[in-house]
Amino acid sequence: AQKITQTQPGMFVQEKEAVTLDCTYDTSDPSYGLFWYKQPSSGEMIFLIYQGSYDQQNATEGRYSLNFQKARKSANLVISASQLGDSAMYFCAMREVNTNAGKSTFGDGTTLTVKP
């Protein structure tokens, strides 16, 4: 079974609007971290936001917030006030502390296109 599932291969959003990128995960490890990375066309991977499995509140970093629903095993990324520079591929990833030696597992990604 896929550990990380991103069901939206591509998404479009109008500049200045908000967009939600979906991510569901599968683990039996009680201790894990969830991450979102951005990959522009240049290829570098940029860390955006982190949510720990024991965190009570949703993580926020500037225009990025993570909608963490633990019971649903969901960790959606919300980008507010989209900018043209947000056009990129976005990856959801998980690190399992106890059951996977802390290795990161990545989803297949969502390509976001911001329209002017």
Partner 1 sequence: DGGITQSPKYLFRKEGQNVTLSCEQNLNHDAMYWYRQDPGQGLRLIYYSQIVNDFQKGDIAEGYSVSREKKESFPLTVTSAQKNPTAFYLCASSSEAAQGHGELFFGEGSRLTVL
Beta carbon of residue 103, minimum distance to partner 1 (angstroms, whole number): 6
Q: Which residue number, 12 or 81, has a Cβ lying nearer to partner 1? A: 12
Q: Which H or E run contains 110?
A: strand 110-115
Task: Select the span of 16-24, 65-73, 79-87, 97-105 touching partner 1 (CB under 8 A).
Answer: 97-105
Q: Is position 26 an interface residue for partner 1 (rule: CB under 8 A)?
A: no
CA 95 vs CA 9, 10, 19, 22: distances in Å: 22, 24, 25, 18
Q: Tell me the CB-side half-sphere exposure of residue 86, using CA atoms within 13 A.
A: 27
Residue 100 three-state SS: coil
Q: Is position 20 an interface residue for partner 1 (rule: CB under 8 A)?
A: no
Q: Is position 50 an interface residue for partner 1 (rule: CB under 8 A)?
A: yes
Q: Which residue number, 31 or 74, has a Cβ lying nearer to partner 1? A: 31
Strand 24-25 versus strand 88-96 pairing type: unpaired
Are the C-beta atoms of residues 106 and 96 closer than 8 Å to each other?
A: no
Give the residues lining the site for partner 1 (CB under 8 A). Answer: 31-33, 35, 37, 42-47, 50, 52, 91, 93, 95-97, 101-109, 111
